[in-house]
Amino acid sequence: MKSLKQRLSDYRTLRKLQGNRKERGKYAKQFLALLVRYLVIAGIILLIYFLLLFLLVQVEKNAEGTTIRTMGEAMWYSLVTFTTVGYGDLAPVTPVGRIIATVFLLIGIGLLGFFIGFMTEFFTRMRPVFVLAMSTDKPWYVFTDKSPHAMIFAENLKMIRPNALIVYAETDEPKKTSKHISVLWNVEEILERRGSLFDTHILCMKENEMENFLDAVDLADIGVSTICLANFTPAHHPVNINFFSLTDCTARVFWQQFPIKQKTEKILIIGFGTAGRVILDRALEMNVIYGDQAICYHVFGDGSEYCRNRKHLADIVSLNEISDERDSVIFHDHPWNHDEKLISDADRIILCADSEWENIQILHTIQKFFVIKGELYIYNSNVRGVATSFGRARELLTPAFVLHNSLSDMALCRHELFRFYQGDDVPLWEDISSLTKDENYITTDHISIKTRILLGEEAPDRPFDEIPSATLQRAADAFATLSDEEKERLRRLEHERNLRFYKLHNFSYGDKTDDEKREHPMLKPYDELDEKERQIVDTGWMLIGELAAHKKAKGR
């Protein structure tokens, strides 16, 4: 049953589409102008052609020894001449007839080629009209631009949904052999041809992320599911817009594919730009695995702004001082190649400068001058063999990561569980802030790490959405059979993970959740939580069974 808010949104959408049809927008005008242009050109060509045929018949029909007496014979002769076949059964005998024949000979191939090209161009230009009209029963993915990212995603999408119709808006690139449709019309004009908004998607994937953001906001009133490629998310935005960041997705996937496997792992992060900051954020938010862990992150790059923005960073890690009792983050002022022993002792080295060339240069230097025992990872590069590449657009621009249907479903499920235990005063999903949604997303991502905690080496090193339902069910069953003491230990880990997220975003304790004041009632020691609050902590572990059932229902 649709809510009143959704019904009003559908009503506004319907009125808008009806209004556009009544006004006969640019789409209809462009189509009519193109059709008239081609008809006029075709008419002029045919008029000249028939005038020449008529003149040829008039000068030839009464001549002695003539073979061209009728329009049919003249047409046959012209076609034989145009195509250079030259049977010789018909030929002009008069001087004027031979002049006309010479004209046919001179312009024959050119005229035929022009006519064929003209017809080809006409049908190529008209192809989008016919394809759109015949594809209203298919899923539509309408891109605001034909950017490299858009084309990569479209290619990956077709592998999953081969019947999907890909349409690039405001793109003048008609190709007869193209599998996709490129049109000059804007997104709204394309959707006029749809007739229904069911299974329709808008993808704002221009190279300029600010343009994507403005496009998504401008198109929000249509009510269609919209994906916006941008490295920033507004605090509040329409529920039909999902923001997708390549750097954020890179960090999320990295710690799921290459999870922490030691309590005291020593990690070097070299390059602390946009990607490096997000990788460290996600590491601190997700890598809560052992109760007595002491993971140390050595960061080479300017961390001053990072620390200024995260006022409570020292509450969750030992800052700039190595600790044996909890995780540490050490920001180094000197260059990364200053301490040879630190490089050789590192368990993993992550090269994550925003520049691919800079990462490759550092990799080359490490190989040439240093002995290393740990794993090497390089961001956004095609390097093979010597280091493990991660964060490449082709691997991230897939339906699983861009559309993140399972991520949204499980995040919504977790929020509903939270509302069930917390009470009806908790807002609905569509009314909560982007920050609260992110916390639910990270809890969902953490399913892969929870699965590893419960199953050990049996768990695959994959993002949560790629773990088979049978494996997830084994993990859920393993949690259910744990002793009360073991369950309590895992709940403490989950509470610590939640604390880290909110502390990194400068939250403090408050009686009620208030994103504007940055207050949350769960920001207190685990032993001070009441029974209801402990049940809320338990929702993170309950998600494993929920995801297993969700994937089993879909045959996955």
For residue range 431-471, what is the model confidence (pLDDT) as tens digits?
888 888 899 999 999 999 999 999 999 999 999 989 999 99
pLDDT band at 72 (very low <50, low <70, confident <90, very high): confident
Poorest-pLDDT segment among 275-279, 327-331, 427-431, 435-439: 427-431
* 26-128 and 135-243 agree in CATH topology: no
What is the DSSP secondary structure assignment for residue 375, as one 8-state letter? E
Task: Round to whole Å and give the CA distance between 407 and 543.
Answer: 11
Mean pLDDT of 208-224: 89
Task: Round to whole Å and give the CA distance between 246 and 242.
Answer: 13
pLDDT, position 178 = 59
Task: Round to whole Å and give the CA distance between 178 and 125.
Answer: 12
Instruction: Assess contact for 131 and 180: CB atoms under 8 A.
Output: no
The encoded tokens of residue 483 equal: 């002793």
Task: Round to whole Å and give the CA distance between 301 and 275.
Answer: 12
Instruction: Assess contact for 490 and 478: CB atoms under 8 A.
Output: no
Instruction: Assess contact for 52 and 103: CB atoms under 8 A.
Output: yes
pLDDT, position 190 = 86
pLDDT band at 2 (very low <50, low <70, confident <90, very high): very low
Q: Is the pLDDT of residue 500 over 70?
A: yes
Q: Is the pLDDT of residue 112 over 90?
A: no
pLDDT, position 34 = 63
pTM for this entry? 0.78
Q: Is the pLDDT of residue 16 over 70?
A: no
The order of strands in the sheet holding 181-182 is 181-182, 165-168, 140-143, 200-204, 225-229, 241-244
- CA trace torsion 39, 44, 47, 53 (10° rounding): -120
Mean pLDDT of 326-330: 97
The encoded tokens of residue 275 equal: 């990607």
pLDDT, position 362 = 95
Q: Is the pLDDT of residue 84 over 90?
A: no
Q: Is the pLDDT of residue 223 over 90?
A: no
Secondary structure element (H or E) that encloses residue 409, with its range:
helix 405-422
Pair type for strands 200-204 and 296-300: unpaired
pLDDT, position 23 = 42
Which ranges of 180-286 does DSSP label H, i.e. alpha helix? 187-192, 209-219, 246-257, 274-286
pLDDT digits (tens, 9 = 90+) for 164-197: 999 999 887 655 445 788 888 889 888 887 877 8
Q: What are phi and psi of 515, to 5 degrees?
A: -65, -35
Any idea which fold 135-243 has?
A: Rossmann fold (3.40.50)
Q: Where are the beta strands (DSSP E) in 333-374?
A: 348-351
pLDDT band at 5 (very low <50, low <70, confident <90, very high): very low
Q: Is the pLDDT of residue 91 over 50?
A: yes
pLDDT band at 310 (very low <50, low <70, confident <90, very high): very high
Mean pLDDT over the full length of the chain: 85
Which ranges of 290-339 does DSSP label H, i.e. alpha helix? 304-309, 313-316
Cα torsion 124, 129, 132, 133: sign: negative
Looking up tokens 């939580």, which residue turns up? Answer: 529
pLDDT, position 86 = 67
Any idea which fold 249-396 has?
A: Rossmann fold (3.40.50)
Task: Round to whole Å and give the CA distance between 397 and 233.
Answer: 18
Bridge partners, 379 (sequence order)? 390
Pair type for strands 200-204 and 140-143: parallel
Q: What are phi and psi of 475, to 5 degrees?
A: -65, -40
pLDDT band at 96 (very low <50, low <70, confident <90, very high): confident
Mean pLDDT of 131-160: 90
pLDDT, position 486 = 95
Secondary structure element (H or E) that encloses residue 9, with its range:
helix 4-22
Cα torsion 244, 248, 251, 255: sign: negative
pLDDT, position 373 = 92
Q: What are the residue boundaries of the structural domains of the chain, listed by start?
A: 26-128, 135-243, 249-396, 399-553
Instruction: Assess contact for 493 and 291: CB atoms under 8 A.
Output: yes
Give the highest mean pLDDT range of 54-68, 214-228, 271-285, 426-440. 271-285
Residues 6+ apart with CB under 8 A from 338: 332
The encoded tokens of residue 412 equal: 């919504």
The encoded tokens of residue 66 equal: 């003539």
Q: Letter for the amino acid at 373?
A: K
pLDDT, position 316 = 95
Residues in the chain: 556
pLDDT band at 20 (very low <50, low <70, confident <90, very high): very low
Instruction: Assess contact for 205 and 151: CB atoms under 8 A.
Output: no
Looking up tokens 């209809």, which residue turns up? Answer: 28
Task: Round to whole Å and give the CA distance between 257 and 450.
Answer: 13
pLDDT, position 132 = 82
Name the percent of the chain lying above pLDDT 90.
49
Q: Letter for the amino acid at 460?
A: P
Any idea which fold 26-128 has?
A: Helix Hairpins (1.10.287)
User: Does 332 or 119 have the greater pLDDT score?
Assistant: 332
Number of Cβ atoms within 10 Å of the Cβ of 432: 20
Q: Is the pLDDT of residue 540 over 80?
A: yes
pLDDT, position 301 = 92
Task: Round to whole Å and give the CA distance between 180 and 452.
Answer: 41
Instruction: Assess contact for 501 and 439: CB atoms under 8 A.
Output: yes
| Angle value at C-alpha 306, between 305 and 310, nearest 5 degrees | 115
